[in-house]
């Protein structure tokens, strides 16, 4: 049985729902998952006959072959560039955290722990 195309308004709503569910799933897995920060994630979805969205599975190391076969250079660049940008973001935040800790330690002379930071 051939599925009818969704009307534009329903398609727009569904795309927003897909994006929101994807973000919530990624945040949940980053916070409560056993794998740490994922950096990249793919989520497989399905629609039932009533156009309800279902998550089939989430993959922490998604296959990129499907996207590269689309012959869309912008998407191909994005799927390889985005995890690197996320790693850089995490690195920058870790440096900021170290600087904040060093400043906090310097303002408390009785609680100096310079040896901790000299090993970094």
What values do phi and psi take at 41, rounded to 5? -160, 140
Q: Is the pLDDT of residue 23 over 60?
A: yes
Give the contacts of 119 (CB within 8 A, at least 6 positions apart). Answer: none
Q: Is the pLDDT of residue 98 over 60?
A: yes
Is the pLDDT higher at 95 or at 119? 95
Please report, rounded to a whole number, the percentage of residues in the chain having pLDDT higher than 90: 6
- pTM (two decimals): 0.59
Alpha-carbon dihedral sign for residues 87, 88, 91, 92: negative
Q: CB of 39 within 8 A of CB of 83?
A: yes
d(C-alpha 4, C-alpha 117), whole Å: 62
Is the pLDDT higher at 99 or at 14? 14
Alpha-carbon dihedral sign for residues 42, 91, 37, 12: negative
The lowest-confidence range among 17-26, 41-50, 83-92, 105-114 is 105-114
pLDDT band at 120 (very low <50, low <70, confident <90, very high): very low
């Amino acid at each position: 049985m051939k599925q009818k195309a969704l009307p534009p308004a329903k398609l727009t709503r569904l795309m927003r729902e897909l994006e929101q569910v994807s973000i919530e799933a990624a945040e949940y897995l980053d916070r409560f998952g056993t794998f740490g920060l994922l950096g990249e994630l793919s989520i497989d979805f399905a629609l039932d006959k009533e156009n309800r969205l279902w998550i089939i599975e989430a993959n922490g190391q998604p296959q990129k072959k499907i996207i590269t076969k689309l012959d869309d250079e912008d998407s191909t660049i994005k799927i390889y560039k985005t995890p690197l940008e996320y790693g850089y973001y995490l690195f920058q935040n870790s440096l900021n955290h170290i600087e904040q800790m060093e400043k906090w330690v310097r303002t408390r002379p009785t609680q100096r722990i310079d040896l901790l930071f000299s090993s970094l």
